[in-house]
Amino acid sequence: MVATTQQEISEGRVFYIGGATTPSLRISGGRVFAVYNLPAIEQRISQARIYAVASAPGVQEISEARVFAIVRGRVANTHLRVWKFTLDGHDNYVLRLGDFATLVYDTYSEQWVEWTSPELPFWRATSGMNWIGGEALAGTYGSNIVAGDDLFGLLWFLDPEQPYDEHPDEARVPQQLAFERIITGQVVARGREFIPCYALFLDGDNYGLVATDFTPGVTLETSDDQGRTFDAHETITVTADTADQAYEWLSLGQIASPGRIFRITDNGVFTRIDSLEMNDDAR
């Protein structure tokens, strides 16, 4: 355990440096077999053989070195990036807020939507555009919108009719990766009012569903405490390419103040959602 102001090592073989709470670590011309758990402000290593550098926050500068392991995970991206694309007459502006979130604004409907990638709070597409030279490829890939993936270094075409993502590694199975679409609606209740909730009906179109690597389904969740907690209801398994599929949930009790939030999640079922209605005239 070293708690010195700084460490400077020149032309040496260092077999172990651990738990060092120094503001600076400088190693020149040395062989370093283990450097880990260094809460130093910076590390500067020149012409060294490094076998392991792990859990080291701060700045690291390494020149002319053989590095076997230095980091694990993705590189942080703290930049704000803005780009746009046009699809089906809708102009969309994409705001990538670093590693925090990705927001998409549709100027036609004047609505904000949050887009994410699996296990990430943001969308991996960092930048993109409508590629004028790619018009001839739009029939094959769904559109001429090209986006760059900051995690895998790939270029993607956005296909509005494909109900799943493709795996970035062509050798991995399954290739079809489901992604969730989430919508919410609310019924407001005031005072001592109690509103019966006999049934909830969802109308949409799944004619384009062609997924084979996962089971498509639609799930309902409800919250009676303004979104603090949600209760899960039945998940409806969907039959591909059917026009008469019923999406309904029955006997949902009563709604009291302040009201009820309905959250619908589907994993690539709908190409379009038309309406979400509660009860009907026959009840």
With a cut of 80, say whether residue 209 has pLDDT above it.
no
Q: Which CATH architecture has domain 181-278?
A: Sandwich (2.60)
With a cut of 80, say whether residue 276 has pLDDT above it.
yes
Q: Quick one: how far is CA 257 from the chain centroid?
A: 34
Q: Summarize pLDDT for 162-188 with one digit per residue, the tens.
A: 888 888 888 888 888 888 889 899 999
With a cut of 70, say whether residue 201 has pLDDT above it.
yes
Chain position carrying tokens 């283990």: 34
Residue 172, CA distances (Å) to 151, 166, 189, 264, 272 in order: 16, 10, 49, 30, 30
Q: What are the beta bridge partners of residue 231?
A: 222
With a cut of 70, say whether residue 219 has pLDDT above it.
yes
What ranges do the domains of the chain cover? 6-67, 80-160, 181-278
Is the overall model pTM greater than 0.85, yes or no? no
User: Average pLDDT, stretch 261-268?
Assistant: 91
- pLDDT of the residue at 41: 57
User: Average pLDDT, stretch 35-57?
Assistant: 56
